[in-house]
């Protein structure tokens, strides 16, 4: 019985409406006594209506596939047809749950059309015949006489079988020998009667929509040689009885949803030549003696299933095999060396498994091999040289393994037909052989993320068919960037990716002569200098250009605007100057514009609103001066970063037009005015930073409508008023900072505010309550005229008393000549409130030793707990030590404007002639040195990596991210402090040097800590960013070996660097911190590989020549990649 909804509507074909309720009554609830008959798509009932009319009601069973279509066809056919011998449709009742046709009732039943048969001929009271049931009817267009159908009518009433489409019969017995109904979009299950076609030799039902289990009855087709059921929706297991098909030559079940194991009986079919089970969900293993009976097998393809176990050694007995494809399963173990006995093998595909060990050396003996896929495994060792002597070889893919060694360079190699060579993401080293160009058909070369060194051979330019070249992340060079000139000969070139190699050179003018088909050019972080050639505008099909992280100078050439289909432009982290060319607005396809960390000045072009495809704009850390109104019309913009510029003016209400925006960063500018209330319209915004501006007014209540907001930083402005309670509704808000404003009133205490600490609100004298500040006082004093007068009198009286008291204290102090300071002057740039010496003394309990956190060359650091509940670190300078005053001044100058999450924040200062102290953010987990060299503390591999990445981020900012180059000069583990989440913060800027514009080296007479200082620092007093890099390298060594550079073992003949350098290639495990590398612990080899890579970076940081050291941008990129690789493994 159908489950129907009451809100049915009636579709009229003839006059009269009959709703479902009337139909239900007329058929007595579809009672069986009124059932006239059933068919393929439903049933027909007799219905007697209240008006006395008797009708036949054909109810369609919508659960049957095709019933919908049958109903629509009958409606279409019978809508206009009128004939005395056709059954009349009186009306219909239809909605999504119920469809019925109301037909003229024929009292004498059927005589028992595409589907003409006796049951579809109905007889009226005079025995006049009426043709009915038009569910399979076809409508022919004008001039048409033939049509194709994918739906079968009733057997016995259709044309002879041998005349059917796709049926081939034998000439002698006229029995069906072949059935091919592929690509007909047939629905449903395979009828089991198919197993009765005992003469069937070939069955092809591929590329349809068959479903359900494979019928056992097919195993009765004993003459069958070909079974192709590919590209359907079959489920369940492969029937074991298929092994009885002893004449079967081809079994193709590709692209279904079959599960379970492969019946071993299949491997007993001695006639089988092709076994294709790719793209299913098969599990289990393959039999060890897989080829004992499969003597004729030529192709085994079982890609993308869930097979496990080892690859059977018995495959060597399949001597006729030309294809073995078992990729993307869960096979483990090694590649059986017996495979090399398969002399006819042309395709070997074992990629995407868990195979270990080496690639068998004898694989070079497979002289007919054309394709070798071993990618995404755990293979090690070198690639057999003989592989590159197989002349038939066309494709080699071994990316994402642990392969090492080098490539053969002798002239006799590479005489192949190679078209694809993918060796990416391994540990292969040495040079790229010049003779690689002997494989003149090469189209794709991917050697990325390896350890190749030396020069990129210009012979690559001889590969005239080359389309894709990826050498990303190696140690390759190209004097004068001659590789780009040589590639001019490759006229089909589409992608060139050479990023993160020390290419050393100037972009040649010939870059404009590269193939006009080139679509992607990536040369980021490659130590390229000079200007961007004008000819680059000739590459008219370019969609990606990345030159970030180099040393490019000059202006952005206007010829870039000739790249009309460019989608991604990356020029960040260079020294480009001048203004943004207005023609950028005409780049209609540009989606990513990245120019961060340059020296671009002037206004953003007023036409920027025309760049309607722009999605991500990174223009931060430049010298831009204003934001045009048109920018706010970019309604599809996703990311906008204009931080750290010189922007002036206000934020207009049109900000609310950026409906798709997810990230806005306008921090560190000179924006004024108020925050527009329309900001609440940014429902997709996740990240918002307006910090370090001059914004005034209140925080808009509408901020509470920004339902996606996760981070909001409004700190260091001049905002006033209260924090809106509406922000308590922001359920995803994780980071919130309104510190150093002029806010007042009660801090919200619900929702996300349950998780914020005092640092989010410090520097606002009028804030109270919440979970971090003192409770708000209830006001009982009413501001009447009398009250105001009284208040004025009290304030005046209090001021007079304070002045008088100050004079008395001053006189007493002069009389007794005491040295205790009495005045506190706040640190101008980051003031929290005026903090006096008395408050500091109380907070440290009189500078008690129990609060001493540590001592250094110029003073001591104490823990201070203030009356408002705030805990700070207080660095008190010993002014009796020579240089202490200078150290204090240096820290003040450096920290006044520097802002970075990995630098220790200065909250305030207290200073006069006799006393100087800095009040710093308190780090509850102490220093990195404490964690490295304490027996009761331990940092795991990831924690150490994260801390050193934090330090690298800080140094990258000091060296490259601030308008003045800052050299720390005293980097060591004790100057890296850890917060509650073990995030690293670089501290102690007492020896810091600020380098003026154009300067790269300074002189100093002050020595930093021995063991961490660079050779040039200690010998001649030269200070540069390379000195910090050296110190960072020593810190890396200490962090992962747990040895200090000044330990006793390091005497005049042995330094920490030489100790590491001598150990890393041969026995790195001998020097790595044993607590990290205990062999019984898991992932020993992964950890060993990771730390070895880290120590290699450390060695590159500590070369004797400063010019050979990495810069911090490179260091950071390397350490992050090492971490990613470790996590991947």
770, part of any domain? no
pLDDT tens track for 48-66: 988 888 988 988 888 887 7
**How much is the pLDDT for 824?**
28
Whether 935 and 1016 share a structural domain: yes
* Average of per-residue pLDDT across 625-629: 93
Which entry of 970, 988, 1028, 1073 is annotated as an active-site residue? 970
Beta pairing class for 871-877 and 916-921: antiparallel
pLDDT tens track for 848-874: 888 888 777 778 889 998 888 889 999
Whether 356 and 393 share a structural domain: no
Confidence of residue 129 (pLDDT cuts 50, 70, 90): low
Confidence of residue 756 (pLDDT cuts 50, 70, 90): confident
**How much is the pLDDT for 821?**
33
3-state secondary structure 668-687: CCEEECECCHHHHHCCCCCE
**How much is the pLDDT for 115?**
47
Distance, CA of 76 to CA of 799 (rounded, Å): 97
Whether 898 and 972 share a structural domain: no
pLDDT tens track for 231-277: 999 999 999 999 999 999 999 999 999 999 999 999 999 999 999 99
Residue numbers in the known binding site for ATP are: 58, 875
388, part of any domain? yes
pLDDT tens track for 340-396: 889 999 999 999 999 999 999 989 999 999 999 999 999 999 999 999 999 999 999
Residue numbers in the known binding site are: 58, 875
1083, part of any domain? yes
Tokens of 292: 């004992």
CATH number of the domain to which 32 belongs: 3.30.200.20
* Better-predicted residue by pLDDT, 1015 or 902: 902
Question: Is 936 considered catalytic here?
Answer: no
Domain closes at, from 489, 510, 530: 530
Confidence of residue 812 (pLDDT cuts 50, 70, 90): very low
683, part of any domain? no
- When mean pLDDT is compared across 40-49, 191-200, 773-782, 1030-1039, the lowest value belongs to 773-782
* Average of per-residue pLDDT across 473-482: 93
Domain closes at, from 921, 953, 980: 921
Are the CB atoms for 1056 and 1050 separated by under 8 Å? yes
Whether 1070 and 955 share a structural domain: yes
* Better-predicted residue by pLDDT, 521 or 1018: 521
Whether 967 and 1094 share a structural domain: yes
Task: Reply yes or no on whether the pLDDT at 617 is more than 60.
Answer: yes
Are the CB atoms for 658 and 637 separated by under 8 Å? yes
Whether 968 and 1107 share a structural domain: yes
Whether 947 and 916 share a structural domain: no
Task: Reply yes or no on whether the pLDDT at 809 is more than 50.
Answer: no
CATH number of the domain to which 315 belongs: 3.80.10.10
613, part of any domain? no
Angle between the 1025-1041 and 941-956 helix axes, to the nearest 10 degrees? 170
CB under 8 Å to 118, separation ≥6 — which residues?
110, 111, 112
Whether 341 and 385 share a structural domain: no
Q: What DSSP element (H or E) covers 75?
A: helix 67-78
Residue 477, domain extent: 380-530
pLDDT tens track for 1047-1061: 878 876 788 898 888
Q: For residue 735, which of 927, 901, 869 has the smallest C-alpha distance?
A: 901
Distance, CA of 187 to CA of 69 (rounded, Å): 13
Are the CB atoms for 496 and 488 separated by under 8 Å? no
Q: Is the dihedral of CA 416, 422, 427, 431 positive or negative?
A: positive
Distance, CA of 16 to CA of 91 (rounded, Å): 7
* Better-predicted residue by pLDDT, 939 or 326: 326
E strand segments, 393-537: 395-397, 420-422, 429-430, 444-446, 451-455, 468-470, 475-477, 495-497, 505-506, 520-522, 528-530
**How much is the pLDDT for 247?**
95
* Average of per-residue pLDDT across 644-648: 92
Using the structure block, give the residue that is written with the tokens 């080139």.
518
701, part of any domain? no
Confidence of residue 109 (pLDDT cuts 50, 70, 90): low
Whether 976 and 1070 share a structural domain: yes
Total domains, the chain: 5
Whether 908 and 1051 share a structural domain: no
CATH number of the domain to which 1094 belongs: 1.10.510.10
332, part of any domain? yes
* Better-predicted residue by pLDDT, 79 or 1037: 1037
Question: Can you spell out the DSSP letters for 861-875?
Answer: EEEEE-TTS-EEEEE
Whether 980 and 1118 share a structural domain: yes
Task: Reply yes or no on whether the pLDDT at 773 is more than 80.
Answer: no
Whether 301 and 424 share a structural domain: no
Beta carbons within 10 angstroms of residue 818's beta carbon? 11
The span from the first CA to the last CA of the chain, in angstroms, equals 57
Distance, CA of 884 to CA of 894 (rounded, Å): 15
In the Cβ-directed half-sphere of 978, how many Cα atoms lie within 13 Å? 20
**How much is the pLDDT for 856?**
74
Angle between the 1112-1128 and 1025-1041 helix axes, to the nearest 10 degrees? 30
265, part of any domain? yes
What's this model's pTM, rounded to 2 decimal places? 0.61
Domain closes at, from 497, 530, 563: 530
């Amino acid at each position: 019985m159908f489950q129907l909804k009451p809100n049915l509507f009636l579709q009229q074909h003839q006059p009269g409406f009959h709703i479902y309720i009337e139909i239900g009554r007329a058929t007595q609830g579809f009672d069986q006594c009124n059932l006239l008959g059933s068919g393929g798509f439903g049933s027909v009932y007799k219905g007697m209506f209240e008006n006395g009319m008797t009708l036949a009601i054909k109810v369609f069973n919508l659960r049957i596939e095709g019933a919908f279509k049958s109903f629509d066809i009958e409606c279409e056919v019978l809508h206009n047809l009128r004939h005395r011998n056709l059954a009349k449709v009186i009306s219909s009742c239809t909605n999504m749950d119920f469809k019925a046709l109301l037909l003229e009732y024929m009292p004498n039943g059927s005589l028992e059309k595409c589907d003409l048969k006796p049951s579809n001929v109905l007889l009226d009271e005079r025995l006049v015949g009426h043709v009915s049931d038009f569910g399979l009817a076809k409508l022919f267009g004008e001039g048409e006489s033939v049509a194709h159908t994918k739906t079968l009518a009733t057997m016995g009433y259709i044309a002879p079988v041998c005349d059917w489409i796709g049926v081939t019969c034998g000439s002698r017995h006229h029995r069906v020998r072949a059935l091919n109904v592929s690509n007909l979009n047939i629905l449903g299950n395979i009828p089991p009667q198919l197993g009765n076609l005992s003469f069937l030799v070939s069955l092809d039902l591929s590329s349809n929509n068959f479903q359900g289990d494979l019928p056992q009855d097919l195993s009765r087709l004993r003459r069958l040689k070909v079974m192709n059921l590919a590209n359907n929706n079959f489920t369940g297991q492969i029937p074991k009885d298929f092994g009885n098909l002893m004449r079967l030559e081809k079994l193709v079940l590709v692209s279904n949803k079959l599960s379970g194991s492969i019946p071993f009986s299949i491997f007993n079919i001695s006639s089988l030549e092709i076994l294709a089970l790719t793209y299913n969900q098969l599990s289990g293993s393959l039999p060890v003696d897989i080829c004992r009976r499969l003597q004729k097998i030529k192709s085994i393809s079982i890609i993308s299933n869930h097979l496990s176990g080892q690859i059977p050694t018995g495959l060597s007995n399949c001597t006729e095999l030309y294809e073995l494809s078992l990729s993307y399963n869960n096979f483990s173990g090694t590649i059986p060396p017996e495979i090399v006995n398969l002399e006819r093998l042309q395709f070997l595909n074992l990629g995407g498994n868990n195979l270990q060990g080496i690639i068998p050396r004898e694989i070079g003996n497979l002289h007919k091999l054309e394709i070798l896929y071993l990618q995404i495994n755990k293979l090690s060792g070198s690639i057999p040289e003989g592989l590159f002597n197989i002349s038939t070889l066309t494709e080699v893919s071994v990316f994402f393994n642990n392969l090492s060694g080098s490539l053969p360079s002798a002239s006799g190699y590479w005489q192949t037909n190679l078209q694809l060579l993918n060796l990416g993401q391994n540990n292969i080293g040495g040079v790229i052989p010049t003779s690689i160009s002997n494989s003149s058909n090469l189209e794709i070369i991917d050697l990325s993320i390896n350890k190749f060194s030396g020069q990129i051979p210009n012979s690559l330019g001889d590969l005239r068919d080359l389309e894709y070249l990826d050498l990303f992340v190696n140690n390759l060079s190209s004097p004068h960037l001659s590789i780009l000139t040589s590639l001019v000969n490759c006229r089909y070139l589409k992608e060139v990716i050479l990023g993160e190699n020390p290419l050393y050179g100037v972009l040649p003018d010939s870059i404009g002569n590269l193939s006009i088909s080139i679509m992607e050019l990536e040369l980021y972080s490659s130590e390229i200098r000079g200007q961007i050639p004008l000819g680059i505008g000739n590459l008219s099909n370019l969609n990606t250009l990345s030159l970030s992280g180099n040393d490019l100078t000059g202006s952005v050439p206007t010829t870039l605007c000739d790249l009309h289909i460019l989608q991604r432009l990356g020029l960040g982290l260079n020294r480009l100057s001048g203004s943004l060319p207005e023609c950028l607005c005409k780049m209609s396809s540009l989606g990513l514009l990245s120019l961060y960390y340059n020296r671009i000045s002037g206004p953003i072009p007023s036409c920027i609103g025309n760049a309607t495809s722009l999605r991500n704009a990174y223009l931060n850390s430049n010298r831009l001066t204003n934001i045009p109104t048109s920018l706010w019309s970019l309604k599809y913009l996703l990311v906008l970063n204009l931080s750290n510029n010189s922007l002036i003016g206000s934020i207009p209400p049109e900000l609310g037009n950026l409906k798709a925006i997810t990230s806005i960063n306008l921090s560190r500018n000179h924006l004024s005015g108020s925050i527009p209330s329309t900001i609440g319209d940014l429902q997709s915004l996740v990240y918002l930073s307006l910090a370090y501006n001059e914004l005034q007014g209140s925080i808009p209540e509408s901020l509470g409508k920004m339902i996606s907001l996760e981070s909001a930083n409004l700190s260091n402005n001049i905002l006033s008023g209260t924090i809106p309670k509406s922000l308590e509704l922001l359920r995803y808000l994780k980071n919130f900072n309104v510190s150093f404003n002029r806010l007042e009133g009660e801090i919200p205490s619900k929702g996300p505010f349950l998780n914020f600490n005092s640092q989010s609100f410090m520097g606002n004298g009028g804030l109270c309550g919440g979970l971090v500040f003192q409770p708000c006082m209830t006001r009982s004093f009413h501001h009447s005229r009398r009250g105001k007068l009284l208040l004025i009198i009290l304030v005046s009286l209090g001021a007079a008393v304070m002045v008088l008291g100050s004079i008395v204290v001053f006189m007493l102090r002069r009389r007794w000549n005491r040295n205790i300071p009495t005045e506190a002057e706040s640190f101008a740039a980051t003031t929290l409130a005026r903090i006096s010496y008395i408050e500091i003394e109380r907070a440290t309990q009189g500078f008690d030793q129990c609060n001493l956190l540590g001592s250094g060359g110029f003073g001591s650091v104490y823990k201070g707990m203030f009356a408002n509940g705030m805990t700070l670190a207080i660095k008190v300078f010993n002014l009796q030590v020579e240089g202490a005053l200078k150290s204090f001044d240096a820290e003040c100058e450096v920290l006044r404007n520097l802002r970075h999450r990995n630098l220790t924040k200065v909250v305030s200062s207290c200073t006069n002639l006799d006393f100087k102290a800095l009040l710093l953010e308190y780090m509850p987990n102490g220093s990195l040195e404490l964690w490295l060299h304490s027996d009761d503390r331990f940092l795991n591999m990831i924690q150490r990596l994260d801390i050193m990445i934090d330090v690298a981020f800080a140094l990258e900012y000091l060296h490259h991210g601030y308008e003045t180059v800052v050299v720390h000069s005293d980097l060591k583990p004790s100057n890296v402090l850890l917060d509650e989440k073990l995030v690293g913060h670089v501290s102690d800027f007492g020896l810091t040097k600020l380098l003026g514009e154009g300067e790269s080296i300074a002189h100093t007479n002050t020595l930093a800590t021995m063991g961490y200082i660079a050779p040039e620092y200690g010998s001649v007093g030269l200070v540069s960013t390379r000195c910090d890099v050296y110190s960072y390298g020593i810190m890396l060594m200490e962090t992962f070996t747990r040895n200090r550079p000044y330990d006793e073992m390091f005497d005049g003949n042995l330094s920490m660097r030489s100790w590491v350098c001598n150990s890393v290639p041969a026995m790195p495990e001998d020097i790595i911190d044993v607590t990290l590398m205990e062999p019984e612990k898991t992932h020993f080899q992964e950890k060993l590989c990771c730390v070895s890579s880290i120590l290699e970076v450390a060695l590159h940081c500590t070369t004797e020549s400063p010019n050979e050291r990495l810069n911090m941008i490179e260091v950071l990129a390397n350490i992050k990649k090492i971490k990613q690789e470790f996590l991947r493994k």
